[in-house]
Amino acid sequence: MTVFQDFSIDPAILRAISDMGFEEPSPIQKEAIPKILEGLDVIGQAQTGTGKTAAFGIPIVEKVSPELGAVQALVLTPTRELAIQVSGEIRKIAKYKRVRTLPIYGGQSIGHQIRALKMGVHVVIGTPGRLIDHIERGTLTLDRVRILVLDEADEMLDMGFIDDIERILRVLPGERQTLLFSATMPEEIRRLANRYMKRPVMIKVTREEVTAPSIEQVYYKVLEKNKLDALCRILDAEETELGIIFCRTKRGVDELSEQLQARGYLVDALHGDLSQAQRDKVMGDFRSGRIEYLIATDVAARGLDVTNVTHVINYDIPQDPESYVHRIGRTGRAGKHGIAITLVTPREMKQLRVIEQLTRTRIQPRELPTVEEANERRLAQFVAEVKAMVEQGDWHPLVEEAAESLISSVDPRTLVRALVHYALKDELTLEPDSGYDFGETGAAAGMVRFFLNVGKNINITPKKLADELSQIAGVSVGEIGRIDIFDRFTFVEVSESAAPFVYEALKQGKLLGTRVFVEPAKPRSRR
């Protein structure tokens, strides 16, 4: 098994990676990092979410010399969001090294960027247009660049950046390492690679078909913003003997277990940082049912053999179908009933489809318990508990005096109401809160109207748009209302309950292969 320690990299980087919660390299990282460290040009093809950023980010941080105050690595990304994201990830990897990174993108004040560049930057991550701006103004010197990365190359070409990219390539030193990452490899990219790369090593992470065990598999679509609340509602509704909740990173595991413990759930964390004694203690508590849910990463759960696991919950959707199959295989052992529950945010919907395809299973959608159902359940449980307590009749010896004082001064109905309120006021909720307020958008009653910056120019029709939205946001076509398509923009109405999902799915997303911009419509513009 490859671990990060196997790579010949600075211990300061290893420490940073461990802080990030990464336990072991992902498949693309295992293959690409040694080759990049060797100095070879590399083409990496792997789907989104497979860890390509760290695959080039780790070698970059290793290779840059902090004492040399010049830009030594340049990363091109298609969008500003991605530039910021990649810069953030490289900054984390460089946490214990004096390597400075800077994202450069359109929309931000150029003066600010010029000042930041003057301070001395080692790694620049930017969108092609704005980079060319700086090159032309002479505010970005690239003659010491030794590593160039084209991240999401297919996207950049789709967005028409080919000329810009070639212009940048021409001003870079010929003596350099070129890395190209992409989810797909269309002909245009091969041509680009042939022209500008030196005998590149092709690394392709393919996925073999895997079969999922026959246990019940369901998913809930949840909003990024409300993931924790959604999980709690699911946990409240499930009859669980023992369950395992999976997160992507150690850090995620720690955060989630703290949050759930704070809310009174019987959970504990299992991850690679625990000593053997700590691990044994957690496992002992779990086997004996003192804790109900174990929260773990894929690595930590390896080799874990517990019968009676009734629930596997993917709080973070797994990065690949193999790990999905591994995870859910922890339940339904010895012919017992098991259920695998996956939380899916709108942006992860595609990942869910990939898992379904490669495992050849249908994962059934389920609706989150509504606020009303959650309230009803809690109230019924409270009533049952109180009745049971009355039946037993053994309460605390000190309550007597307070009880007498209340009984002699308050009428019994009011008193009981007040007590129930006092006991449950923090747990009952009135408003379903989506976390979004789209304001007045000029939509029909119960609907939200969105503005999209694409229209007939990308050949959408109402039917195509409705189908596509229902696919990517996981909402039913019935939730989609009036659609008005113009030459270069579109208005679409969706039900209030579906609106947050459509919004999260489109915000940084694509429609029919084109990146789109979405915002709540202004009421005035209704026709």
Please report, as ranges, the residues that interact with Mg ion according to CB under 5 A.
52
What's the angle, vertex CA 205, arms to CA 204 and CA 207, rounded to 5? 135
Q: Which of 335, 286, 339 is nearest to 310 (CA)?
A: 339
* 3-state class (DSSP) for residue 447: strand
Rounded distance, CA 23 to CA 299, Å?
Answer: 7
The residue (of 52 and 330) whose beta carbon lies closer to Mg ion is: 52
For helices 110-118 and 128-137, what crossing angle results, to 10°? 70
Find which of Mg ion, ligand ADP, none residue 45 binds, CB within 5 to 8 Å per kind.
Answer: none
The residue (of 51 and 332) whose beta carbon lies closer to ligand ADP is: 51
The residue (of 54 and 494) whose beta carbon lies closer to ligand ADP is: 54
The residue (of 101 and 495) whose beta carbon lies closer to Mg ion is: 101
Spatial contact of 291 and 285, defined as CB atoms under 8 Å apart: yes
Spatial contact of 236 and 380, defined as CB atoms under 8 Å apart: no
* Nearest-approach distance from CB 309 to ligand ADP, in angstroms: 23
The residue (of 51 and 200) whose beta carbon lies closer to ligand ADP is: 51
Q: Which of 373, 321, 371, 360 is nearest to 342 (CA)?
A: 321
Tally of CA atoms within 13 A in the half-sphere of 203 that contains its CB:
24
* Nearest-approach distance from CB 123 to Mg ion, in angstroms: 16
Find which of Mg ion, ligand ADP, none residue 77 binds, CB within 5 to 8 Å per kind.
Answer: none
* Nearest-approach distance from CB 249 to Mg ion, in angstroms: 16
For residue 243, what are the β-bridge partners?
Answer: 293, 311
Burial of 321-348, coded b for 16+ CB within 10 Å and e otherwise, reads: bbbbbbbbbbbbeeeeebbbbbbbbbbb
Find which of Mg ion, ligand ADP, none residue 248 binds, CB within 5 to 8 Å per kind.
Answer: ligand ADP
Find which of Mg ion, ligand ADP, none residue 49 binds, CB within 5 to 8 Å per kind.
Answer: ligand ADP
The residue (of 377 and 515) whose beta carbon lies closer to ligand ADP is: 515
The residue (of 36 and 301) whose beta carbon lies closer to Mg ion is: 36
Find which of Mg ion, ligand ADP, none residue 249 binds, CB within 5 to 8 Å per kind.
Answer: ligand ADP
* Nearest-approach distance from CB 3 to ligand ADP, in angstroms: 10
Rounded distance, CA 459 to CA 485, Å?
Answer: 10
Interface positions with ligand ADP (CB under 6 A): 22, 25-26, 29, 46, 48-54, 248-249
The residue (of 101 and 359) whose beta carbon lies closer to Mg ion is: 101
Strands 147-150, 177-182: parallel, antiparallel or unpaired by DSSP? parallel
* Nearest-approach distance from CB 202 to ligand ADP, in angstroms: 16
Find which of ligand ADP, Mg ion, none residue 26 binds, CB within 5 to 8 Å per kind.
Answer: ligand ADP
What's the angle, vertex CA 149, arms to CA 192 and CA 87, rounded to 5? 145
The residue (of 29 and 495) whose beta carbon lies closer to ligand ADP is: 29
Burial of 358-370, coded b for 16+ CB within 10 Å and e otherwise, reads: bbebebeeeebbe
* Nearest-approach distance from CB 252 to ligand ADP, in angstroms: 9
| Token pair recorded at residue 417 | 């109401």
Spatial contact of 199 and 164, defined as CB atoms under 8 Å apart: no
Residue with smallest beta-carbon separation from Mg ion: 52
* Nearest-approach distance from CB 149 to ligand ADP, in angstroms: 11
Find which of Mg ion, ligand ADP, none residue 257 binds, CB within 5 to 8 Å per kind.
Answer: none
Find which of ligand ADP, Mg ion, none residue 54 binds, CB within 5 to 8 Å per kind.
Answer: ligand ADP
* Nearest-approach distance from CB 357 to Mg ion, in angstroms: 21
Q: Which of 365, 248, 252 is nearest to 317 (CA)?
A: 248
Q: What is the largest CA-CA distance in the chain?
A: 92
* Nearest-approach distance from CB 446 to Mg ion, in angstroms: 38
Find which of ligand ADP, Mg ion, none residue 87 binds, CB within 5 to 8 Å per kind.
Answer: none
